[in-house]
Chains A and B, each alone.
Chain A
């Protein structure tokens, strides 16, 4: 087990990559503060069962990513547990696709609120704890669209590009405190986010890949696991593409 005895904060745990990361981390021995957008009975049950099965503790934490006070309250709940935090995984994020000229300022600001400003706020809080411990690993989930650009994803891709820039800068500032900061840039992954993308568009992407299929959320979770674990202890400021080799 690669994360035995480590405590992690993971955001966006309700579904997709976040949910799979939660499962993978617990299976590898980590205790988790599982952050989600809103309280959900099924999610509570899922966390309890997963904790029981893996012999870890999992605490659901709820806050709305568009509400700064709400986020702060959620983070205070984590801080008040007075446990070391070894890992922070910023998974939560969303997209609302629109071509450049059809993107409203309102939409753009909302996406940046969730995909960028909230992530920075959370990272500031949690790395303050990590600095006291003199250790920690932060993993941001960006996107290949933040590197390559993506038709119809102005808001999403630029918010992810901002997150990549932040990853690099924060890694430089916090390395001397024993904190590593890296990002994963997933390609086309089989999640709800891509379920709405037309099949012919997905097929077009897959055709240009070395590994000619969509990725599974567990494949992204396993790369996150690597960056959270001590296997990557000399890596910081890196952006790892988990994209099956896209052109």
Chain B
């Protein structure tokens, strides 16, 4: 075993354009994985950064751009993966959107939108990919939820509920496909340095950091490193688990 814990493995990561997904893309490449890098739109910057990472780490990075909420586009993306005839060793459902609003002020349309993007989309995408993994007889699913799914933070009713749904589905899936060699786990990040915290006030951020044992915000690479572990064979006997990566909240 070398430092390259993902040597020769192929992974699909969603939400790679920025934030935690972007860090995951680099961490996975650094550890030797080839990656289908999913993002909503194929911008020249995204294409260039994929090519740059591929040559830097000597791996293949294949941009795979589609709207997660559009079923036809999703199907086409799955077809691209199938046509490659490459094994899919890991699926990281990282793409998601955030929303802050008090329960009583949450609009119905935003409530539905949270579920659409944070729950229905990864659920359906996972159905497609698990079908491939069942044929292979192996695979690791890593779903990125949130500490809000476990703690029920004020102002996070819609967001937290969508992540809690994802968490529960992951657990159920882990029981259904464990015997077929597929593992499914959840990462629950705490407060992390991404665009997402742009939606939080400085006072809320300061308060959260003060109640974090490590007294700092998590870096996207901190979350990405844990995804590497769960995608790799280092976690071969771990399934149905939720790993909090929150600096001790």
Contact = CB atoms under 8 A, between A and B. Distances in A.
B247 A231 contact: no
Nearest to B225: A231
A107 interface: no
Interface string B205-249: 000000001110011001101101100011111111101111110
Residue with the greatest number of chain A CB neighbours at <10 A, chosen from B222, B238, B245, B246: B238
A220 B213 contact: no
Nearest to B227: A231
Contacts, number: 105
B222 to A, nearest CB: 4
A172 B2 CA distance: 33
B179 A235 contact: no
B179 A27 contact: no
B236 A222 contact: yes
Interface in A213-247: 215-216, 219-220, 222-223, 225-226, 230-238, 240-245, 247
Size range of the interface on A? Answer: 35 or more
Contact of A230 (B183, B225, B240): B225
A175 B178 CA distance: 35
A225 B239 CA distance: 17
Contacts of B5: 2
Given A234-B247, A242-B237, A211 B214 contact: no
B225 to A, nearest CB: 4
Residue with the greatest number of chain B CB neighbours at <10 A, chosen from A172, A215, A235, A243: A235
B139 to A, nearest CB: 13
Contact of A175 (B213, B219, B245): B213
Contact of A234 (B177, B178, B245): B245
A169 to B, nearest CB: 11
A171 to B, nearest CB: 6
A215 B237 CA distance: 6
Contacts of B34: none
6 contacts: A172-B248, A233-B222, A235-B247, A238-B243, A245-B240, A245-B241
Interface of B: 1-3, 5, 174-175, 177-179, 183, 190, 213-215, 218-219, 222-223, 225-226, 228-229, 233-241, 243-248
Interface of A: 1-2, 27-28, 171-172, 175-176, 187, 209-212, 215-216, 219-220, 222-223, 225-226, 230-238, 240-245, 247
